[in-house]
Amino acid sequence: MTNPLLAQWTGPFALPPFDQITDADFAPAFDAALAEAHAAIAGIAQNPDMPSFDNTIVAMEQADQLLDRVAGVFYNLAGADSTPAREALQRDLAPRLSAHASQITNNRALFARIETLWNSRDALDLTPEELRVLMLYRRMFLRAGAALEGDARERLTDVKSQLAVLGTTFSQNLLADERAWSMPLEEDDLDGLPTFLIATARDAAEARGLTGHVITLNRSLIVPFLQFSPRRDLRARAFAAWVARGANNNAHDNRTIAAQTLALRSERAALLGYACFADYKLETEMAGTPQAVHDLLMQVWHPAKARAEADSRVLEKMLHADGINGALEPWDWRYYSEKRRRAEHDLDEAVLKPYLSLDAMIAAAFDCAERLFGLQFHALDVPLYHPDARAWEVTRQGRHMAVFIGDYFARTSKRSGAWCSAMRSQSAIAGHPVRPIVVNVCNFAKGSPALLSYDDARTLFHEFGHALHQMLSDVTFGFISGTSVARDFVELPSQLYEHWLEVPEVLQKHARHIDTSAAMPADLLERLLAANTYDQGFQTVEYVASALVDLAFHQGPPPADPMAAQSRILQDLGLPHAITMRHATPHFAHVFSGDGYSSGYYSYMWSEVMDADAFGAFEETANPFDPTTAALLERHILSAGGSDEPEALYTAFRGRMPGVEALLKGRGLLAAAS
């Protein structure tokens, strides 16, 4: 029987045949795909013809098409719907795929062909995009150690393989800890909880095969519990489990893995001639240097900390008014902040959530994309990898643009967080256009119906902004398509798209009560938008603390004990007592599940400087859907991928680079900065 992963996909839009694929198909498919890729690369390296852009770079783009196809399906499923078989295969694949990448970049004949092209680039009559791709390939080879010799070359290959294994193990450990913990609630424990939270806790129990109600480590469940439960003892217990993920002295403890990862990254940088890993990692980012990152973060840290400390004093007085002596603790902050928000803004999340159903917020995101970019979304009835997943065809003026898959609900088989990925990326090599399959994955609490918090709705818009970056991509080479851009630029489209959730007319149209279909009352909408910067001291401090720890970990010698180093860094910063890092080291998946955000967690804030300024371009027209501005945004950012340097792309859109003031204004921190 033909392996469905290796056969031609002839279904609608060449979607993977999910209803035919089994876990047993993946290993042989990877074997075949790796063998095909190895043979293709060997053929390119050994080609007796003089190097040309077509027989070297274009050929490399096409060499691993089957591998990309198989991996695109597997890694999406491994993250969103893991099984023991998929987790075991992930562990097996980590060193194999690392070795495959090293075999390519260590191929001297292949690198020699790239160098020949680079040295004769002025005579090759390349398009700007082709020249950019050639430069990026050469840079990738050099940064992977192609110019190293002897023992250093072999050691770098070994280091990269070990890092791949450690990253996979870190992710699986974190998922195992999140699966393992739940806190049953007795009837008395439900007192004071809003109806939606009680229903969600009941659904969570049913999903685990339990009766009654449970709190789990899903953010969309534990955060509202910390906001609404008047039981301080239960809040403390839940919070302790939340922050202890990956640090429970069990088989899934990530602390040693973090230390090993930092040591290997430092060695990797040294082998390549860099003083520290942060220097290596940031060389190709917009920030350029660790000092530039540190300077930005500290410009935000000081006003955010001042605001958080002022807020802490207010919340502690509320704690004492409840007859509780002592300091405000981290498990108290969200509870008293929610009470304060209700008092100061007359804003109750239990009243707000019925207006923010999942279906309504999906419709809102789609509507904004149609008004801005002319996209239309048509529901598809096709087999998908999980019953919770949904699919839409995306078109523009009758032309197929993409398939969009939304997978929104938390489950024990899904890793935590929210992300966007592509099962297939856009490209147009040799006149063969390939349109993407884009996936948004979130971890919202499943309900009947599913209701979102305002933060959940913001997450939905954020991930859909990434999806637009993929769907609107219009370049030739998959190597630079969609989100294949600098890490501190990739969050610009996603964070920018969040702004449309704040446009009053969007909420007026889509925020309708789940039972009555009535629009959100004008006074509630006004209070919601007025509270947009509420608690930004807390939110900014917990984020910037994480970013500064990440940066410090990768500067200088690697810490032998990352937990002790984390404590020292936070003490030196003066982190307020009642606030913790958003992601402590043992569950800092952004940084330790792979190299993506290592030395790069700051990138959300670097991009926020741009997104605040970019939305200002629409505000200056007095029309959040101004067609001219939207066309510029698409042309220079959303469709451009990595076809030019980020600074050039942003400047082409906005005419200049922004300063930090727009960010501080957007977070309501300007007064604290002065």
CA 154 vs. chain centroid, Å, equals: 32
Q: Does residue 669 contact residue 608 with C-beta atoms inside 8 Å?
A: no
- CA triple 173-601-417, angle to 5 deg: 45
Residues recorded for the chain: 674
Q: Does residue 525 contact residue 346 with C-beta atoms inside 8 Å?
A: no
Give me the torsion for CA of 493, 495, 496, 499, rounded to 10°: 150
Beta strand pairing status for 390-396 and 399-409?
A: antiparallel
- For residue 409, report the phi and psi dihedrals to the nearest 5 degrees: -100, 145
Assign residue 454 a region (left: φ > 0; alpha: ψ between -120 and 50; beta: otherwise): alpha
Q: Does residue 174 contact residue 245 with C-beta atoms inside 8 Å?
A: yes
Give the H/E segment covering residue 132.
Answer: helix 128-143
End-to-end alpha carbon distance in the chain: 70
Q: Which residues contact 499 (CB under 8 A, 6 or more apart)?
A: 611, 615, 618, 624
Q: Does residue 500 contact residue 539 with C-beta atoms inside 8 Å?
A: no
Rg (the chain; Cα; Å): 25
Structure tokens at 41: 């690369």
Tell me the sheet residues that pair with 215: 183
Q: Which residues contact 595 (CB under 8 A, 6 or more apart)?
A: 163, 167, 265, 281
Residue for token pair 């940031």: 282
Which residue type does 244 have?
A
Catalytic residues: 463
DSSP string of 334-391, one letter each residue: HHHHHHHHHHHH---HHHHGGG-BHHHHHHHHHHHHHHHH--EEEEE----SSTT-EE
Buried b (16+ CB within 10 A) or exposed e, 467-488: bbbbbbbbbbbbbbbbbbbbbb
114: nearest Cα among 39, 35, 33, 59: 59
- Rounded distance, CA 447 to CA 424, Å? 31
Structure tokens at 320: 């004492």
Assign residue 417 a region (left: φ > 0; alpha: ψ between -120 and 50; beta: otherwise): left
